[in-house]
Every structure is written in C-alpha cells, then in structure tokens.
C-alpha cells in the first residue's frame, strides 16, 4: 500500500508539472490512428500515457513499459516509472530514482533521492540528492552542481527559475539559468514575482522584497520583455502565460478575459476560469459549467459539461456532472465541435484526477471498474482488459 501511495503522489506531481509545460500545436498533437487490436487480456493495476512509443504501466505492483500493442518492452521491475522524455524514462527502484533508455538499459543508475517529475527537457534533468538540487545531462554529468541553488524549478522553453535560499521575508535572490547552467537573468532581489518567459513576455508582479507595508491582496501583475522592462501595465490581479498570442488576465480577480501581446483586451472579461489556448481553443468556465471558445472568443462548445480537459489530438476528456459523488463520476471524449465521440463510461476518479485521460500517440489510458487499458479515437479497446465483452 505504501508503494501505491508513493506512486500516486509522484504521478500527481508529474501531472501538475506537465500542465505547466504543455506546449501548443506541436508534433505530439498530430493524429496517429491506431486500429490494430493488441493484448486485450493484459491486466493492469495502473497505466499512464504513451510518449515516444512507450507507456509506463503497473502490473502486480511493479512498473514497466509496453508498446502500443501491449507487448512488454521493459520488464516490470520498478517501483514507479514515468513517460519517456528526450529518449529517457525516469524509474524508481529501492527508493532511488534513475533513468532508462528504450531498451531498458539504466543509462543513469538509480541513485538519486528524487528527480524533477518532468524528466529530461532539452537534454537536462533536475535531480535531488541529500537535500540539494542539481542539474545533470543525459550522460549523468553535473551541469549545475548540487547545492549551488536552494531551489531549481522545471525547465520551460530552455530556462529554469532558481533561488538562492528560502526566506520568509522575501530576501532570497532569484534568477534564471539556461540548459548549460548559465545565468541568463542575474540573481537579484528585484526578480521577486518574475514568471517564466513565453512568447517573449513574462509576468511580473509589483511585490517587493522586505516590504511589509503592502499586502498580498494589493499585488498586481503585468508583463515584462526580455530586458525586464514593463511593456504591459501591472494592473491585473491575475495573469497567466501567453499561449498562441493570448493570455488570460483579470483586473478584479473574479472575471477573466484575454489580452494580446500588446496588452489589448481582445476577449472580454466574462469567464470565471480559463485554461491557456491550445491549437486554437481554450477551455473556459462560467462558474457552473465548462465550455470551449476559439481565439475570437466565440463559444464553440456551449457551457454544458462539469469538466473538460485541454484538447489533445483533436479530442478532449469530459465529465458530464461534477455534482454527483466522486466515485460515480464518469468521463468520455468530445471533438472540437463539442460532439460526443466516446460515451462517458470510464471512471473519472482514476483517469481525470491523475491526468491519464489525454490522447497521446493515438491512445488514451482509461479505467473502468478498476481495470486499466487503452482505447483509440473511436473508443475501441486496444490494450487491456477493460471491456465487459472480454469477460
């Protein structure tokens, strides 16, 4: 039981990180039609999404990797495993983390206390050892020595935020490094409230270090360019990263709209929640139900679902109603027109909660009656004992 809790905890952290790292309109979003049925008798405890041709799955409390027909490619011998990234997959063995290649070779042996859940990005990975963070390359060489920074955040678009120490009075310096460990934004107290750069802009708050006169509720956000000059006024109570030329912002902290990179309001303040644009669409909420808008602000899918994930490979997972008991919530899939293409028959608690539901490489990991497997775009089972017809 302890291992299962550990695995689910790691998975949750992974999902939260991947949400932040998700790109827009990339190669991974190309449709891959998987029609050949694989091993429908494979009984899995848990499954995660495919990445780079393989998916981490758990069987009899051990993790390994399968291909899109359910064939075992890397044996079930790990306590946890994560999707491949940059050609390597993070695995956990005897409470130590390392990385394997697609042949199952432990190219970086299991020796770290933890790693960044996002794995390798642009040839580097964050690793944690003896209460200190460092950065390694794919040969295991140190790019950033352990302990140089108190905190190293995930690499996004080739840069990572770093912090000198932890301090309750906001007196710790922060900056940004590239994948070679170079400080591209010099460590400074003035970087408090500086976000990651996206499409040439980064959020920056009005918060100042060691300033006890201002309250968090008074903090406002704007955007700076790569010279750290404010180019969009710091007047927002909420501000998100730019995606596809638009960013979700709120002036009153309650109603959300979208601005362009010039700071022009292009979609009026009318939403209670909003996700970034991806492939021309954004998931929005009116506070009760979720819908979908295009980049013009047109509601292309009406407010009718309790939950909608971001579209991936043309489909989005949805939960019809979040007001029912959590154990009774089901998920299915809609297309970009809002049409239901896969009926909501899968357990939302197991799939949605841990982010397994998105389609990747033509397949989605789903759970039904505690049985895990993979379905294709038509909802046809491809791997795993998840259909009653197989009993």
The reported pLDDT for the residue numbered 214 is 54
pLDDT (tens digit, 9 = 90+) per residue, 183-204?
Answer: 999 998 888 889 999 999 999 9
The reported pLDDT for the residue numbered 173 is 86
d(CA 269, CA 251): 9
Instruction: Calculate mean pLDDT across residues 125-149.
Output: 95
Q: Which has the higher per-residue pLDDT, 338 or 17?
A: 338
Instruction: Calculate mean pLDDT across residues 133-149.
Output: 95
Domain segments of the chain as ranges: 192-271, 279-376
The reported pLDDT for the residue numbered 6 is 37
pLDDT band at 1 (very low <50, low <70, confident <90, very high): very low
Is the pLDDT at 265 greater than 70? The verdict is: yes
299-305 and 290-294 strand pairing:
antiparallel
Instruction: Calculate mean pLDDT across residues 138-151.
Output: 94
Q: Furthest-apart CA pair in the chain: how many Å?
A: 67
Average pLDDT, the chain: 87
Is 1 in contact with 350 (CB distance < 8 Å)?
no
Is the pLDDT at 236 greater than 50? The verdict is: yes
Q: Which has the higher per-residue pLDDT, 26 or 229?
A: 229
| Of residues 351, 357, 355, the one with CA closest to residue 369 | 351
What token pair was written down for 103? 């042949």
The reported pLDDT for the residue numbered 128 is 95
Is the pLDDT at 287 greater than 60? The verdict is: yes
d(CA 344, CA 64): 28
Number of alpha helices (DSSP H) and beta strands (DSSP E) in the chain: 2, 35
Residue 84: DSSP 8-state: -
Location of structure tokens 């998987």: 34
**Maximum mean pLDDT: which of 19-33, 86-100, 207-221, 321-335:** 86-100
The reported pLDDT for the residue numbered 40 is 95
Is the pLDDT at 383 greater than 80? The verdict is: yes
SS3 52: coil
């Amino acid at each position: 039981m302890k291992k299962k809790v550990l695995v689910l905890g790691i998975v949750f952290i992974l999902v939260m990180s991947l949400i932040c790292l998700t790109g827009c309109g990339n190669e991974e979003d190309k449709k891959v039609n998987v029609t050949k049925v694989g091993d429908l008798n494979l009984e899995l405890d848990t499954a995660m999404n495919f990445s780079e041709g393989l998916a981490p799955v758990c069987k009899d409390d051990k993790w390994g990797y399968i291909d899109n027909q359910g064939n075992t490619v890397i044996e079930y011998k790990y306590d946890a495993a994560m999707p491949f990234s940059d050609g390597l997959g993070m695995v956990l063995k005897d409470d130590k983390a390392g990385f394997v290649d697609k042949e199952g070779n432990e190219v970086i042996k299991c020796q770290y206390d933890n790693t960044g859940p996002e794995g390798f990005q642009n040839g580097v990975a964050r690793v944690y050892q003896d209460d200190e963070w460092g950065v390694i390359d794919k040969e295991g060489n140190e790019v950033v020595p352990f302990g140089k920074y108190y905190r190293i955040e995930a690499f996004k678009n080739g840069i990572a935020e770093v912090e000198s120490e932890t301090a309750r009075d906001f007196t710790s310096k922060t900056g940004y490094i590239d994948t070679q460990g170079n400080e591209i934004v010099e460590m400074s107290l003035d970087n408090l409230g500086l976000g990651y750069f996206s499409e040439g802009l980064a959020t920056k708050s009005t918060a100042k270090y060691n300033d006890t006169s201002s309250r968090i509720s008074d903090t406002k956000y704007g955007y700076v360019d790569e010279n750290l000059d404010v180019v969009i006024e710091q007047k927002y109570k909420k501000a998100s990263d730019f995606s596809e030329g638009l960013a979700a912002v709120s002036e009153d902290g309650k109603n959300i709209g979208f601005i362009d990179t010039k700071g022009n309001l292009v979609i009026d303040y009318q939403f209670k929640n909003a996700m970034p644009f991806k492939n021309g669409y954004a998931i929005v909420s009116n506070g009760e139900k979720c819908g979908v808008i295009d980049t013009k602000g047109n509601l292309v899918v009406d407010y009718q679902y309790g939950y909608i994930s971001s579209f991936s490979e043309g489909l989005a997972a949805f939960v019809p109603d979040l007001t029912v008991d959590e154990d009774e919530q089901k998920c299915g899939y809609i297309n970009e027109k809002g049409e239901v293409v896969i009926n909501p028959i899968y357990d939302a608690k197991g799939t949605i909660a841990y982010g397994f539901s998105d389609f990747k490489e033509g397949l989605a990991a789903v759970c039904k009656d505690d049985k895990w497997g993979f379905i294709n775009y038509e909802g046809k089972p491809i791997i795993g004992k998840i259909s009653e017809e197989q009993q």
